[in-house]
Structure 1
Amino acid sequence: MVSYMALSKGDFVLVEYNVRVKDTNTLLDTTDAELAKKENIYEADRVYGPTLLIIGRGWLNENVEEELLKHDVGSEVEVELPPEKAFGERSPDKIKTFSLREFQKRGYSINVGDVVEIGGARGVVKSISGGRVTIDFNHPLAGKTLVYKVKIVKRLENTIEKIKTLSSRYLKIPSEEIEVSLNEAEKKLFVTIPGKYLSKKDISYSKIALAADIMELFKDTVSSIVFQEVVSRS
C-alpha cells in the first residue's frame, strides 16, 4: 500500500511549473529552459529545472502554495487564480497625469513604454501629448486571470540537501556546482562555489541574503557560515 502524506508549511520541496495568462495563453514564467526559449522568455543567468519552494513563504504565490498543501510528491496541480488572488483588478485611480515640463526640468528624457518610478511606485508611460505625460501604475498583470501548472517533484529531508538547494536559489548557481559541508560540533557551515562565479553580478549581496536565511531557517544547526571560492588551473 502506497502511503500518502500531503505537504506541510515549512516543507522544502522541488517543483516544476508553468504560469500562463488564461485569456491569451501567454507564458509568464517556467522552470523549463526549452519552453522558455521557444516562447522567448529565456533568461541566460537563471538556473532552470526543478526549483526550490519552502511552502508557506509565497515564493510562487501564497494561494497556489495553499493548494499544494492538499497534495503529495508526484502530484501535478493546476490552479486558476482570478485577478483578486493574483495581481489585483485594474484601477483607473492608478493612472496618473503629470506635466512633461517637470520631467524636463529634472533632465529626464522619457518615451512611451518607459518604466518610471515616482514616489516609490513603478509605472509605464502610456502617452505623451500636449505637454502632459500619462503613466499607468497598475501592475502589468492587473486584471488578468493566471493559470499555474505545478508538479511536485521531491520533498527534501536532508539538511545539507536543503541548504545546497537554497544556496542555488539565492546565488543562481546550479546546485551540482555547489559544495556544502557542516562541522556539527562547531555548528560551522561551509559553502563552496567555483571561482568562475567570483565576478557574477551581485554575488556579494546574494551571499548576505543567503546567510541571513540560513541562520534563520537552521538556527539550531548553524551558528556560523564560511563562503569559499575554489579557483582551479584550467
Structure 2
Amino acid sequence: MVFSDGDFVLIEYSVRVKETGNLVDTSIEELARKENIYDSNRVYGPTLVVIGRGWINPVVESELKNIDIGEERVIEVPPEKAFGHRDPGKVRVFSLREFQRRGIDVRVGEVIDFGGVSGVVKSVSGGRVVVDFNHPLAGKTLVYKVKVVAKLEDLTDKIKALAVKHLNIPGSELSVEYDGSKREVVIDIPAKYVTKRDIQYGKVSLATNILDLIRGEVDSVVFRERIARKKEEKEQAGSVEEPGERAAKESAKES
C-alpha cells in the first residue's frame, strides 16, 4: 500500500541502539515494562503519524509510505540521519564551585540544566566537573522496528487520534462529537485531567492541528470539561428522605 502526504497512519514501533541493543523508545507498554523504560506519564498504544508532517524520523517516514497495513519492517538510521555525530567540543570542564554557587548538586550520570542547555555529568573529581552536552544518542545508529496498524479514514477517528497525541489522554477516556452542519468538533475532557500539567498547551496545539490538518470539514473546536457526580454520591442523594417523609413512615407503622 502506498501512503501519501496527509494520510493518518497508526503505527507500533520500537527504537534500539544498534551498538548496544538497548531499547530507548517504544509505543508498546509490555515491551517498555519488560526492558525497564516504562513511563507512567505517557499513553502507550498505536501512535499517530500524519505522513509528510515530520512527526517521525525522515528516513522512517520515507519507508512508511510503502509499508502495507499489518506489515512490520526494520529500518536502520545512521547517526547523520538521527542525532548527528558526537562533537568533542560539546564535552566541557567546569569548576565544581560554579555548580555549588548555582545550588546545583552534581552526580555522575545525572542530567543537569546549565545555562539553558542539558548535559550529562561524566565525572566529578579534583574540584572539576566534566559535562557532555552532546545528545545522549549522538553518534549512535538507531534501529526502528515499525508496524503499520491502520490507516484512519473516519473523521472522528482522526480527531481522537490527534487528541491522544496532543493531550496524552487514553482514547478510551475521550469523547469526540462532530456536527457537520456547524462544522464543529466537541471534545470532552474527563474531570481528572482538567488540572493536568500542560493541558492548556495541549488543547491549543490540538485545536491548531485539527484546523490545519482537516481543512474544509472543521471550522471550530470546542473543549468541554465534564465534571459529573460520582456513582456513590448519586445513590446517597437518591436515598435522602424528603422533609416529612420519615414522619409519615413512622405514622404508618404505628397505625
Q: TM-score, normalised by structure 1?
A: 0.91
Q: Aligned partners of 2:173, 2:92: CA distance in 1, in Å? A: 48
Q: Aligned partners of 1:88, 1:170: CA distance in 2, in Å? A: 27
User: How far does residue 34 in structure 1 lie from its aligned partner after superposition?
Assistant: 1.2
User: How far does residue 81 in structure 1 lie from its aligned partner after superposition?
Assistant: 1.1
Moved over 3 A (4+): none
1:121 aligns with 2:136: no
Letter in 2 for 1:216: D
Q: How does 1:65-104 map to 2 (within 5 A)?
A: 65-104=61-100
**In terms of mean alpha carbon deviation, does 196-205 or 22-31 score higher?**
196-205
Task: From the two aligned structures, give the one with the greater helix fraction.
Answer: 2
Contact 2:121 2:132 in 1 (8 A): yes
1:133 aligns with 2:129: yes
State the partner residue of 1:18: 14
Q: Which of residues 175, 184, 203 is equivalent to 1:207?
A: 203
User: How far does residue 99 in structure 1 lie from its aligned partner after superposition?
Assistant: 2.3
**5+ residue gaps in structure 2?**
232-255
Letter in 1 for 2:156: I
Aligned residues: 230
User: How far does residue 55 in structure 1 lie from its aligned partner after superposition?
Assistant: 1.5
User: How far does residue 26 in structure 1 lie from its aligned partner after superposition?
Assistant: 1.1
User: How far does residue 117 in structure 1 lie from its aligned partner after superposition?
Assistant: 2.5
Q: Which of residues 37, 40, 55 is equivalent to 1:41?
A: 37
Task: Report SS of the residue matched to 2:185.
Answer: strand
Q: TM-score, normalised by structure 2?
A: 0.84
1:192 aligns with 2:165: no
Q: Aligned partners of 2:219, 2:112: CA distance in 1, in Å? A: 42
Deviation readout 1:13-43 (Å, 9 max, x if unpaired):
0111111111221111112211111111111
Q: CA RMSD in A?
A: 1.7
**5+ residue gaps in structure 1?**
none
Q: Aligned partners of 2:17, 2:154: CA distance in 1, in Å? A: 36
Change in Cα spacing, 1:57 to 1:120, as seen in structure 2 (3 Å) is: farther
Q: Which of residues 49, 54, 74 is equivalent to 1:53?
A: 49
Q: Aligned partners of 2:20, 2:32: CA distance in 1, in Å? A: 16
Q: Aligned partners of 1:59, 1:191: CA distance in 2, in Å? A: 23
State the partner residue of 1:177: 173
Give 1 or 2 for the bigger CA radius of gyration.
2
Q: Aligned partners of 1:108, 1:43: CA distance in 2, in Å? A: 25
Letter in 2 for 1:53: V
Contact 2:174 2:187 in 1 (8 A): yes
Deviation readout 1:39-64 (Å, 9 max, x if unpaired):
11111232222111112223221111
Change in Cα spacing, 1:29 to 1:183, as seen in structure 2 (3 Å) is: same
Q: Aligned partners of 1:33, 1:23: CA distance in 2, in Å? A: 23
Letter in 2 for 1:148: Y
State the partner residue of 2:149: 153
Letter in 1 for 2:52: G
**In terms of mean alpha carbon deviation, does 93-102 or 155-164 score higher?**
93-102
Contact 2:86 2:139 in 1 (8 A): yes
Q: Aligned partners of 2:219, 2:15: CA distance in 1, in Å? A: 38
Change in Cα spacing, 1:106 to 1:24, as seen in structure 2 (3 Å) is: closer
User: How far does residue 140 in structure 1 lie from its aligned partner after superposition?
Assistant: 0.7
User: How far does residue 227 in structure 1 lie from its aligned partner after superposition?
Assistant: 0.6
State the partner residue of 1:31: 27
